[in-house]
A = this chain, B = another copy of it.
Amino acid sequence: MRGNLVATGSQAEQSSGVNPMPRRLLMKELTARGVRMTAQRRLLVTIIQDARRHLDAAALLEMARKRDAAIDRATVYRTIALLKEHGLIDELDLMHMEGEKHYYEAKTTRDHCHLACFQCGAIMEYTSASLERLKAEMCAQSGFQIRVVRLEVGGVCKVCQKSAN
């Protein structure tokens, strides 16, 4: 059983990013659902979709302000809520390694797991057929109609294990 690994974060930038998760076009999905697209929403959606790292609300606000200094925190939170309602972004904790904030990412077409290293803070993403199988099994057995899957793992990455701390 082979899965795919993608790395981001602290030292992870260095790791080879094989097979990134297949992305979606948020803007198109929103308009298709009849959501009114204002300039600010477009901006925020673009930032989330193109982000190379996982953004929290504050980071998203900061990035958005570079293009529109007038944008407010409230708008960021309201847009996040909107995207969540439509199931277009996923909310992550990443093991809350730095405070209780949440991180967001455009929902990919395939669910994936986030592995967070407690030592160096690197985040790796992991997809595999096994996860899909597990989902199918849970559905079948519980009768649940799954809408969101959040699988987060905390531990020590390969590199940090070697540097034996």
Question: Residues of A with Cβ closer than 8 Å to B?
Answer: 1-3, 5, 91, 93, 95-96, 100, 113, 115, 117-118, 124, 126, 128, 130-131, 133-135, 137-138, 141-158, 161
CB-defined contacts of A117 to chain B, threshold 8 Å: 144
* Separation of A133 and B130 alpha carbons in the complex (Å): 8
Number of copies of chain A assembled together: 2
Expressed in whole angstroms, the minimum distance between the Cβ of A16 and any Cβ of chain B is 13
What would be 27 A-B contacts, judged by CB atoms less than 8 Å apart? A3-B138, A5-B141, A5-B142, A91-B96, A93-B150, A113-B138, A115-B146, A124-B144, A126-B141, A126-B142, A128-B138, A130-B134, A130-B137, A131-B134, A143-B158, A143-B161, A144-B157, A145-B156, A145-B161, A147-B154, A148-B153, A148-B154, A148-B155, A149-B151, A149-B152, A150-B152, A151-B151
